[in-house]
Every structure is written in structure tokens, then in C-alpha cells.
Amino acid sequence: MDLRDAPRRIYRMHETIPVSPGPLTLYYPKWPLPDHAPDGSIANIAGPVITANGKPVPWRRDVEDMYTLHLDVPAGADHIDLAFQYLSPGPGVWYGYEVWSTPHLVDLDPTQVAFYPGGYFARDIPIRPTVVLPAGWQFATAMEVASRSGDAVHFKPMSFNNFIDSPLIAGEYFRRVDLAPGDKVPVHLNIVGDSAASVQISDAYVAAYRRMVKQLYALFHAHHYDHYDLLLTVSDHVAGTGLEHHQSSFEMTGADFLTDADAFIASATLIPHEFTHSWNGKFRRPADMWTPAFNTPQPADMVWSYEGLTEYWSAVLAVRSGLLTPAQFRDSLASVGAKMAHRTGRAWRPLQDTATSAQLLYFNGDYWGNYRRGTDFYPEGELLWLDVDTKIRQLSHNRRSLDDFARLFYSMDNGSYVTRTYTFDDLVGALNQVQPFDWAGFLRQRLDATGEALPEHGIERGGWKVAYTDTPSDYDQAVSKADHRIDLAYSIGATMSDKGEVSDVQWDGPAYTAGLVPGMKIVAVDGEHFTGDMLKDAIRRAKGSHAPITLMVSYLDTYRTLAIDYHDGLKYPHLVRVAGTLDYLGDIARAAGG
């Protein structure tokens, strides 16, 4: 893997593959871990040349499966050489094809840069990886170094399965932080960025991430890796995302994540989420989502457990570690609860169908997201598992909780990272061991529900309720600032960028009724040039009056004026305490040992 041209978004690859003469099939990962979708980025592969005994070998693409190459190995050949380039695309491309490098750093996802021979389980294919880095760059990966010669790093032999599960980051500006000092099992946070300032991390954040490691161990009572590397990229020029792996995780945030308090709050659950996946998703995985190779479909019917449960625990771990304050934790739950209560698409699409359709929904963007629904098995999954946690606490008179389920379900095989799969019945059985109840009925009722009423009740059972005021919480302000977004979903029923570009409109809401649709751009409010503050002021002025809010919008080279008949003022979600109830949310937020 020659990354010396990575600053120009060119990765130069070379593979030597042992073969026997005769027909050979090569696969490029179509269902790469852990994307839940057939989004392998083979369209970015260019210039493949296959040779045997120094002579070119013709290849042909499969006419039905674009991720498969066929060739005939000539007599006398015991290996082939495959050379090609991976061309990392520019900004603005769709999911799975994002930018992965800048002049100062590179993110390498092995799923993007490797072909493998058919006919084998991926775990049975041995591989000896080497990476060549730009001069002077430092790197981090879960792969273990065998030797180094200048800028070439040779890694110890491993299975192709583990190679695909081991991304690498490298950069001119690099910082490595020990998150488990003195422990026998190392855990490090590795940071690359586009400037020396961006990779600096405060002592307070380091302390919080060290507490996160301890809280994870207190929750799961085991670990399933020899060592763990958090791979964090802080850059405004690399697509923001997070990807889980067994002995490492891939987090990509904005350049100010570690230097701006609001940016940190907005993404505080990202690292806990991906780290938690080492237990939930990698070690314990829904059975249908385990496959022997990377070109076999991976049904996502239980992604509400794979991702939803992880999303719940990421928020819990964030508050228990001090990455979020208890108030910010509650504000985040208020935001999720309001979002899902106003998800108009729940009238026709249940949570289960969002999971079943995951391979489609990752590519759809935000347009009509509230009605069409997208990958909101993350936020509604969080509410689902809060519902389970508070129900266990209620039934057991607060003697047991989802923490007990975590210890039961994940603590076996300490130190092993051999995947253990599970089914819906296994999940239900474990919950019943913690607290006898009709968990199958409880889960199915919520997974299959449609209609106006949100089926999850964990916030209310936790002793709180969602209420609305005309002032956003500090948490929501931080998220809106980080996302450059104006969220007016609970008032006029629309969400837009801070430049007025409309991303979503509440189906049958006031803005929808007035004619606003995603893709429009608001250029003026009540006759004045658009700004976010101008629009909010107009909503305030309209409260209690009869005059509509007028918007001039541009849409496909046309302009028109819309009149929004809305008079109830600004609305932002908060949690308020319900008198006379037990505060289970407070108990959930309390750190183990605290």
C-alpha cells in the first residue's frame, strides 16, 4: 500500500496472490465491514494490471456482479501480481465514497484497497501487509509492526478478515495519548489533523477519555482485544463519520473538535459509540450480520440492536465519563425524544422496516427525512433501549438494570475477539435472565408500531417528560452550530442550513402547507434578506398575531413568495422533572463506582 501520493488522493496498490493454473475469481469487498450496505467503492479503482510470470493476464468483470473479476491463470504460474490505484474522490460525493486524504493526512480503509481470491473464508486467507508512507509521517493502526525500513512499514502476518478490520491513519501532524496507563492491555487515542493546533488535546479531555475506558470495563466486565487504538481524524476536509472495528475505531470530525467546546459537545458520543462497538457489533453480532466473506449480503434486521443499543450506551458512557454533563445528557435525550415524536414517517414505516431497509437508507440524504425516514434506527433505537433499561429498573424496584444485561451478554471469553453471534431469541432470553418479563412482546410492539404516538416511554418512566420553550438548550445550540443548521422543526416545521438551504420539511406541517419543500433556498423573510436570526424574529413576531410569516424562496431558477400561517412561537425541547416519580435517568447517568 504505497501512500506517498495520498496528499494528491492517489493510493497505489500492489498485491501478490498465490494461485494455481486455471480459472480464478477475485472479489472486491461489496459489503465492507461495517457499513450495513453493499457500498464497496469499486468505482474508485483505476488502472488494474494483472501479470503472471511477468506477462499480462487478461481479466473480465462479471456482467451481473460488478465487484467480481474473472481471469485464467496460465500454466506454470504459482502467483499473480495485481497493481491498481485507488483514487480518493473530491467532496460532495455520496456515502461510501467520501474524501479520505488531504495534503497533511491520510485515512486508509482496507476495504477500499484490496481484492481477494474467491473460494475461501476471509479468516482463512493469510496476508502480509506493507504500507509506504509520505516522508516523515507518523501512523497508527491495530495492525502490529514486524519491522520498519525508512518510510516502509511491514506488519505481522494476519488473516484477510482481520486486515479488512484494521484501518490506518497517518499524518504530518500526529498525537498519541495513552488512555490506560499502567494497564496490561494498551488503549491509545491517536490523532491526525491538518495543523499542529488541531491535534492538541486538553488534560480535561484526556482524563474524561481515561474514565470512559474504565466505565466501559465496569459496564461489560471484559474486553475482546489484545490492544485497542482509537483512530481520530480532525479535519474540515475529510468526510465526517465513524466506523467500528474490533481492535480499533475510525472517527472523523471537524478540525475544531478538540479545540471548540461546542464542537466537542456536538460529537461527544462519537468515540464512545465506536468504542462500544468492540463489544456490541464486533464481539457479539446479530447472526445474519456475520458472513464468511465480504461479498455475501448482510441482512440488517437487527441493526436496531447493533446500532440502537450502541447509540444508547454511547450517551450513557459519555455522561458517566464526564464527556457530557448530566444536564447535557438530559438535553440530548430531549432532542432525540422530540425528533422521533415528530417523525411523521412513523405513520407508515415502523422502526423494524428502517432496520430491514438499512442498505437503502444510508444513501438517501436528509430530504423528506422526517416522512420518508432514514437511518433513524440510531435515535429511535436509543429510545428503545432506554425504554428497556427503565422497564428493568421499574420491574426490579431499581435492583437491576441494563448494566446487568451488559455483564451477562458480553463478559464471556475475556480477551478473545472471536465473534459470538446471537438471534432475537438469544437477546430475549438474556433479558429474561436479568428480569423475567414478556420481552419478546415488549420489543416487537415497539419495533412494529406505526401511528402518531411514540411507542417508547423510557423518558417518562425515567421520571421526566419532554416540554418545549422558546429557548434552545445549550446542547441543541452546540449541535446546530456544529452542523451549521437552523432547526425549526417543532415550530414552522422546517430545517435548513444557516445559508437558508432547506434540508427537511415536516409533512403536513405549517411550512409544508405553505409550499416549502426540501431543496428550496430562503432568500428573504418578511421582505428582509434572510438570516437565521431574522427568521426566528419573524416567528416571534407572528406569535399571537394573524399575519403570516412570508418567505421569498428560490427553487430551480424560479422565485416565489410563501405565506406560513403559524402563530405559536419558537419551540425547542427540554426535559422537565415529573414530581412524585423516581429519577431513573439520574441513576442511569451515575458513574459506576460513583
Among 228, 231, 249, 246, smallest CA distance to 180 is for: 228
Q: Grid cell 497533511 — which residue?
A: 104
Q: Are 229 and 203 in contact (CB under 8 A)?
A: no
Among 315, 278, 343, smallest CA distance to 509 is for: 343
Q: Grid cell 430491514 — which residue?
A: 356
Spatial CB neighbours of 578, under 8 Å, sequence gap ≥ 6: 460, 463, 464, 465
Q: What is the pLDDT along the chain (594 residues), one digit of tens a residue?
A: 999 999 999 999 999 999 999 999 999 999 987 888 888 889 999 999 999 999 999 999 999 999 999 999 999 999 999 999 999 876 555 555 566 899 999 999 999 999 999 999 999 999 999 999 999 999 999 999 999 999 999 999 999 999 999 999 999 999 999 999 999 999 999 999 999 999 999 999 999 999 999 999 999 999 999 999 999 999 999 877 888 888 999 999 999 999 999 999 999 999 999 999 999 999 999 999 999 999 999 999 999 999 999 999 999 999 999 999 999 999 999 999 999 999 999 999 999 999 999 999 887 777 899 999 999 999 999 999 999 999 999 999 999 999 999 999 999 999 888 999 999 999 999 999 999 999 999 999 999 999 989 999 999 999 999 999 999 999 999 999 999 999 999 999 999 999 999 999 999 999 999 999 999 999 999 999 999 999 999 999 999 899 999 999 999 999 999 999 999 999 999 999 999 999 999 999 999 976
Q: Are 27 and 291 in contact (CB under 8 A)?
A: no
What confidence score (pLDDT) does residue 365 get? 74
What confidence score (pLDDT) does residue 98 get? 61
In order of 99, 319, 339, 588, the CA distances from 333 in angstroms are 31, 12, 10, 12
Q: What is the pTM of this model?
A: 0.95
What number of residues does the chain have?
Answer: 594
Q: Are 420 and 283 in contact (CB under 8 A)?
A: yes
What confidence score (pLDDT) does residue 89 get? 72
Q: Are 107 and 167 in contact (CB under 8 A)?
A: yes
What confidence score (pLDDT) does residue 594 get? 64
> Over the Cα atoms of the chain, what is R_g?
25
Burial classification of residue 188, based on how many CB atoms lie within 10 Å of its CB (0-12 exposed, 13-18 middle, 19 or more buried): middle
What confidence score (pLDDT) does residue 375 get? 93
- Which SS3 state, helix, strand or coil, does residue 50 take? strand
| Angstrom distance (rounded) from CA 54 to CA 520 | 57
- Which SS3 state, helix, strand or coil, does residue 106 take? strand
Q: Are 566 and 551 in contact (CB under 8 A)?
A: no
| Angstrom distance (rounded) from CA 339 to CA 578 | 21
